[in-house]
Amino acid sequence: MVKIVVPNWIEDETLARLSAHGDVVTSEGRDPLADDELRAACADASALMAFMTECVDRPFLDACPKLKIIAGALKGFDNLDQRACTDARVLLTYVPNLLTEPTAELAIGLSIALARNMRAGDAHLRSGTFAGWRPNFYGGSLQGATVGIIGGGAVGRETMRLLSGFRGRRIYFDENRLDPTTEKALDAQYAPLDDLTRLSDFIILALPLTDQTKHIVNVSFLAAMKQGTYLVNPARGSLVDEAAVVEALNTGRLAGYAADTFEMEDWHRPDRPRQVHPALLACDQTVLTPHIGSAVSEVRRQIAAEAADEIIAFLSGKRPRHAVNPEVLET
């Protein structure tokens, strides 16, 4: 039978379905296979289910010559080198739809938690000094705010839709402007990036990580923001220069920063930091979560199941539904 590698924990029912089509190698517990374990496992494997913890590049593919399909159990596949996969004639698939709603939901939750000082309030209550209501922890609100969303893709649009429940103004920037019908349905206005940074009370990042978007939030971006803006990043860590964010928090340019993703997670970056910026962790005006954008039990079950479906379809001689490089199938 063919060999299928699943380097992270997934539900037993999905593993059982995969096992009907090949010999499955997986990790024990919740930690992924280490890099050397992954390469050893994939050296003679036909299929790999990849997560955010894996980095697939040319050297990896050279070491795994029998791989025929890499099914990403994710939406953003910047850690999986599409061109290298195509050159190696390895089909790459992804899961485009299931992460949209939970990620947008978390973006709203982080925005509220940040503006309403929930982290500081929680710490105060747990400190044992709480003695009832006091005029403390005053913050901001999404109600009546101008919220700028950078990115008009699925997550950006869903974030705009959720924001419709708050009185306020929604503006967005994307290289590809939405059509007028969609803008009207979302009650969102297009704004050039310079205007969005200048006008927004909250800025939410909802775009993929590319060479062009890496560190889109940098010193000059932060300097152009209005004083006291809240910045929220549920997208990709390296969209943000964390050192620049720390400086903006220290000077008060930023009222707060919330993030679910961090630069150290972008494994494919040879220059990535090896830890979350220590000063960011020490900063009081932050709300930081450990990449839980899609961490809804049923959603994660469905994501793994869909990635498994792609592997099973391919091994059964059928066409996977969400191929990133379908040209591999044509030759």
The helix or strand, by DSSP H or E, that contains position 24, with its residue range, turns out to be strand 23-26
Domain that holds residue 1: 1-95+294-327
Any idea what the CATH number is for the domain that residue 226 is in?
A: 3.40.50.720
Which pLDDT value is given to residue 29?
86
Are 61 and 124 within one domain?
no
Question: Cα separation of 233 and 111, whole Å?
Answer: 10
Which pLDDT value is given to residue 272?
87
Question: Cα separation of 160 and 154, whole Å?
Answer: 10
Q: Specify the pTM.
A: 0.90
DSSP one-letter code for 226: P
Are 191 and 57 within one domain?
no
Are 83 and 141 within one domain?
no
User: For helices 154-163 and 100-115, what crossing angle results, to 10°?
Assistant: 50
Are 32 and 111 within one domain?
no
**Coil vs helix vs strand at 213:** coil
Which pLDDT value is given to residue 133?
93
Diameter of the chain measured on Cα atoms: 71
User: How many CB atoms within 10 Å of residue 324?
Assistant: 18
DSSP one-letter code for 274: S
**Six-digit token pair at 124?**
């105060």
Residue type, 118: M
Residue type, 52: M
User: Pairing between strand 69-72 and 47-50?
Assistant: parallel
Are 6 and 33 within one domain?
yes
Residue with tokens 């379809």: 313
Could you tell me where the DSSP H helices lie in the chain? 12-19, 35-42, 58-63, 82-87, 100-115, 118-126, 154-163, 180-186, 193-199, 219-224, 242-251, 278-282, 297-315, 327-330
Are 148 and 201 within one domain?
yes
Question: Cα separation of 100 and 162, whole Å?
Answer: 12
Q: How many separate domains does the chain show? A: 2
Burial class (CB in 10 A: 0-12, 13-18, 19+), 308: buried
Are 181 and 304 within one domain?
no
For residues 208 and 237, the answer to whether their CB atoms sit within 8 Å is: no
What residues form DSSP beta bridges with 231?
203, 257
Question: Cα separation of 29 and 106, whole Å?
Answer: 26
For residues 11 and 32, the answer to whether their CB atoms sit within 8 Å is: no
**Coil vs helix vs strand at 211:** coil
Are 238 and 158 within one domain?
yes
One digit per residue, the tens of pLDDT, for the chain of length 331 reads: 899 999 999 999 999 999 999 999 999 888 999 999 999 999 999 999 999 899 899 999 999 999 999 999 998 888 899 999 999 999 999 998 899 999 999 999 999 999 999 999 999 999 999 999 999 999 999 999 999 999 999 999 999 999 999 999 999 999 999 999 999 999 999 999 999 999 999 999 999 999 999 999 999 999 999 999 999 999 999 999 999 999 999 999 999 999 999 999 987 788 889 999 999 999 999 999 999 999 999 999 999 999 999 999 999 999 999 999 999 998 6
Are 104 and 239 within one domain?
yes
Are 171 and 191 within one domain?
yes
Are 191 and 301 within one domain?
no
Are 109 and 256 within one domain?
yes
As annotated, the active-site residues are 236, 265, 291
